[in-house]
Amino acid sequence: GGAQDWILYNERTTCEVNNVSEACRLSFYEGPLQGSSLRRVIVRALDIITITVPPALPAAMSVGIINAQLRLKNKEIYCISPSTINTCGAINVVCFDKTGTLTEDGLDFHVLRGVEEANGSDRPSFTTECRRMVREELPQQGELVNAIATCHSLTRINGILHGDPLDLILFQQTGWVLEEAGADESDHDETEMFDLVQPTVIKPPQNANKADEEYSIIRQFTFSSSLQRMSVIVFNPSSDDRTMTLYCKGSPEM
């Protein structure tokens, strides 16, 4: 098969290179013994390489590549890098894929594992696998649900949520609702939507428990590549202490 031919070709090439190297080495050793000058020894050694690699080889390879490129073009295969045609000769199987066959757009939610707070000298540990985004199954009184529902950069475009695929699938699993100011005011004048500056509101699902309350995103710090994190400042309008909460997410090593 093609793989065996490629292996034999590599072995044959290695053998030829070794033979040329050995011939050059012998000429360097035997030349001075026969009274030849150093210049003549070097010229004869280079002559061996010239004989082994003929000057017409690059032209012959170019002709072969052009011929192969024309044959590919006849099969409606267009090559933008002809120099790789020789390398592709060692390929036996090519697997082509388009979105919707082997892969799909977006992500699927499998499980979520929270982190339990460390007590004293104990190290933090992961919780069991949670297949639902509910407070009862998550540590820290379900604060992770609030963080996932608010700490993201999602936005609505024509009524459809858009943003990072990971943020999108996690937010959808919470069941919360994102409402942006002016999103449902298409019948108003375009400038009227910006007369009043209103924060984005995140509302819990209709079947949520009493612990779930809506939050307003006061400030959003978008993801920073250098810091490897993003954060948001949220406010609970129904809270009596009128405090704000900061939620942050990013790489654990940072």
Query: What's the pLDDT score for residue 101?
Result: 66
CB neighbours of residue 118 within 10 Å: 10
Same domain, 154 and 220: yes
The vertex-197 CA angle with 191 and 199, nearest 5°, equals 130
Same domain, 173 and 218: yes
- Name the more confident of 111 and 100: 111
pLDDT at 200 over 80: yes
Per annotation, catalytic residue among 5, 47, 97, 195 = 97
When pLDDT is cut at 50, 70 and 90, the band that residue 230 belongs to is very high
The residue-averaged pLDDT of 94-111 equals 74
When pLDDT is cut at 50, 70 and 90, the band that residue 221 belongs to is very high
- Name the more confident of 71 and 95: 71
Amino acid at 234: V
Same domain, 71 and 195: no
Same domain, 48 and 138: no
Same domain, 123 and 84: no
Express as a percent the part of the chain with pLDDT over 90.
9
pLDDT at 151 over 80: yes
The residue-averaged pLDDT of 150-157 equals 90
Establish if 122 belongs to a structural domain. Answer: yes
Establish if 103 belongs to a structural domain. Answer: no
Same domain, 235 and 188: yes
CB neighbours of residue 223 within 10 Å: 15
Question: What domain count does the chain have?
Answer: 2
pLDDT at 2 over 80: no
Residue 151 main-chain phi, psi, to 5 deg? -90, 85
Query: What's the pLDDT score for residue 234?
Result: 92
Domain final residue pick, 72, 88, 104: 88
Establish whether 97 is a catalytic residue.
yes
**Per-chain mean pLDDT for the chain:** 77
pLDDT at 73 over 70: yes
The residue-averaged pLDDT of 130-153 equals 80
Same domain, 151 and 217: yes
Query: What's the pLDDT score for residue 17?
Result: 66
Query: What's the pLDDT score for residue 183?
Result: 56
- Which is nearest to 49 in space by CA: 33, 67, 28, 70? 28
- Name the more confident of 165 and 126: 165
Same domain, 147 and 40: no
The residue-averaged pLDDT of 202-207 equals 82
> Mean pLDDT lowest for which of 14-18, 115-119, 146-150, 160-164?
14-18
pLDDT at 190 over 90: no
CA distance 43 to 56: 20
pLDDT at 1 over 70: no
Same domain, 154 and 239: yes
Query: What's the pLDDT score for residue 134?
Result: 74
Label residue 179 exposed, middle or buried (CB < 10 Å: 0-12, 13-18, 19+). middle
Same domain, 226 and 121: yes
The residue-averaged pLDDT of 50-64 equals 76
When pLDDT is cut at 50, 70 and 90, the band that residue 12 belongs to is low
Establish if 166 belongs to a structural domain. Answer: yes
- H or E stretch at 161: strand 160-162
Range of the domain at 146: 115-250
Same domain, 132 and 201: yes
The residue-averaged pLDDT of 132-146 equals 76
